[in-house]
Structure 1
Amino acid sequence: MPASRWIAGGIAAFTATAAVATGIVVSTSGDRDGGRAGVAGAAQALPSRPAAVPQGMPYEPAPVPPSRPTLQQTAFSPASYTVKITGQYQSRNNWCVPTSSSISLRTLGVKVSQATLAKKMRTAGPGTTARQALPVLNAYAKPKHLAYRTGDDISTGTRLLAKVRYDAGVLHRATVLGVWADDLPWNARQGFPNHTGHAIVVYGYNATKKTITVWDPWKATGGKHTISAAKLSAVSQKGGMFVLNRTL
């Protein structure tokens, strides 16, 4: 599941922790959106928390564009749609990105295990960066004339819902979203460190109700959840959706 340096966007500064068991990196800036991402400060002990704290994908300071130009998102999307997925729970604390990626790729018709993806993405320590994950994902997506990218504006519920409506409602594909695990409603009592980055799957929506359906691969509190688009946007990493597009 989480870690806490994530995908594209900006966090002012981070402090590396001495979390040997989990490898989680905790932000001390208190600013999840401003400034440049980076690691700063001396190592310090984490506050007490549950023994099984998830880890995930370290934060990336810049978006990684797809290797091929994408088509305009002009197709019509229905008012609601849910992609059929095969849910998985991550086998290891830091495998949220490989697991979410495995679920997403299956909706592209690609069956690849989270273990294989973790190896190809070189997942280690606090998790997997976007720069590690995207080339692997796009190697599988390219033959399908699709491409993943990060860095799109999902700063409001309306903007996030528009992206989900295209990926789920038009392409009929699920994709990966970077969030802050400690801010997810279903983790309210888990005691995660502040700015715990995590990857989940977005695979459905209801535009009338302005809700989004997600799959959280962290078994303790995960599985299927429905959340308002506005709330999901508020707890998402800046630019942290792996937006799918058709390619030329």
Structure 2
Amino acid sequence: MSDGAYLRYVALGDSQTEGVGDGDDATALRGWADRLAETVARSSPGLRYANLAVRGRLAGQVHAEQLAPALALRPDLATVVAGVNDLLRPRVDVDAVAGHLESMFAALGAQGARVATLTFPDPARIAPLARPVSHRVVALNDRIKEAARRHDVVVVDASHHPVVTDPRMWSADRLHASPRGHALIAAAVAHALGVPGSDDSWTRPPLPAPAARAGRRAVGGEVRWVGSFLGPWILRRVRGRSSGDGRQAKRPDLLPVAVPTEGIR
């Protein structure tokens, strides 16, 4: 909307947008999109918000399953973030992934929504064993930015900021943001959108840099990560299963946003 106020925000995506890593399934997931909605609601008190994201979804699944419901909600603000699950597969067509994202950008924008998206950090700076995926991330980021320019989409290109790969911004699985990381993403998107009260303070590390692990300790950490997280993820892929099997969107309807009185943590 021209005055910077929004009435209907809809988030589309996978586990990161669902909020995995920020809370848990036993209580509730919060996540960066929830946090963004709370931030936007401070200057748009009538805001209603829906989150259609489901963990494990590929970009094509987000397109096929979430776009039509999102359009039906007629958002004036929408976020579309997907593609990482595709990049982690043994084979991926980056152009096809970008095509799904661009189709969603175009459809939501044509209906009048302000659309925002993210680029992705180099996974090798978070998990060294993920280095083989780095070139895919660069390729998808380039295509996201190209598609965004064609459709006037706001891009949060945070990948070059060191704070994005600070280990404290990531959960133990190194695939999902930690609560602090989700707060950082929300702040970055709010800043890119020009939400009142937002600024670039998210680009600066909140604490001194953590001490680097070296030698045997670093190797041991990588081995534990493979056994605890990467191995089970690969096993699910081999079996044709997904962490999102049987799951539905956590917030499929537009609902009022409760703004925490203590501020965004």
| TM bracket, shorter-chain basis | under 0.3
Q: TM-score, normalised by structure 1?
A: 0.27
Return the structure number with greater strand share.
1
Q: TM-score, normalised by structure 2?
A: 0.26
Specify the structure having the higher radius of gyration (Cα).
2
